Amino acid sequence: MTQITLPITPRPQDDLETVVETRTREWHFHIYFLLQSPDETAAALALRDAVLRLRRDGAFVAVPLNRVNKYPIGPHPAGSYEIWVPDSSFSEVFFYLASNRGNLSVLVHPLTSQQRRDHEHRNGWMGTPWPIYLDALPRESDEVPLQYPELRLGWSTAPEDEIPLEERRRRGAKVEELLAEDPEAAPAPVE
């Protein structure tokens, strides 16, 4: 009989300072489209234009890269374009794309110094996943590849614009207090 040993799942990180300091602050959404399909290409470009209009009008901060890939490039196997999003707009952009992508597939991944891990293990898909060419990506970089630092968002957020740890603790305590009598809300563990 063969014994199978499963890897031990690590305990989830729950130290406030570590979680806040190591959170992902920037994201990429890659919209994929079949180059052979004029309809799919048009749908992808219409979605891009809609994101640009909504950004202009203040719905969220999202920066589609000016280049639209009309051939496979890097790890991406088809026509595609990238949309950079700071963490402060992630929820709005995610919901917008999830609701308006039609049949297009969207790869979502964090932007960190570990590009290969971001694309391989920290990713998510809306729609059908596509195979991606991971050998085109470096495993580790010395720095996070900053994008659009002039916006002072994401990795470029000024320290004075961050929520201090004590304010986070105060807000967390207030949420616990408000939910204390709600039988449907699980209480936080008491250490």
Q: How confident is the model at residue 142 (pLDDT cuts 50, 70, 90)?
A: confident
Contacts of 29 (CB under 8 A, 6+ apart): 62, 82, 83, 85, 93, 94, 97, 106, 107, 108
As to burial, measured by CB atoms within 10 angstroms (0-12 exposed, 13-18 middle, 19+ buried), residue 47 is buried
Q: Which tokens go with 83?
A: 């949309």
Residue 176 has pLDDT above 90, yes or no: yes
| Residue 42 in this model has a pLDDT that exceeds 80 | yes
Per-residue pLDDT, 5: 76
Three-state secondary structure of the chain = CCCCCCCCCCCCCCCHHHHHHHCCCEEEEEEEECCCCHHHHHHHHHHHHHHHHHHHCCCCCCEECCCCECCCECCECCEEEEEEEEHHHHHHHHHHHHHHCCCCEEEEEECCCCHHHHHHCCCEEECCCCCCCHHHCCCCCCCCCCCCHHHCCHHHCCHHHCCCHHHHHHHHHHHHHHHCCCCCCCCCCCC
Strand partners, 126: 106
- Model pTM? 0.86
**CATH, range 22-157:** 3.30.70.1240
CA angle 47, 48, 51 (to 5 degrees): 85
pLDDT digits (tens, 9 = 90+) for 13-38: 888 888 888 888 999 999 999 999 99
CA within 13 Å, CB half, 55:
18
Summary mean pLDDT of the chain: 92
pLDDT (0 to 100) of residue 14 = 86
Given a cut of 80, is residue 164 above it in pLDDT? yes
**What is the reported pLDDT for 33?**
97
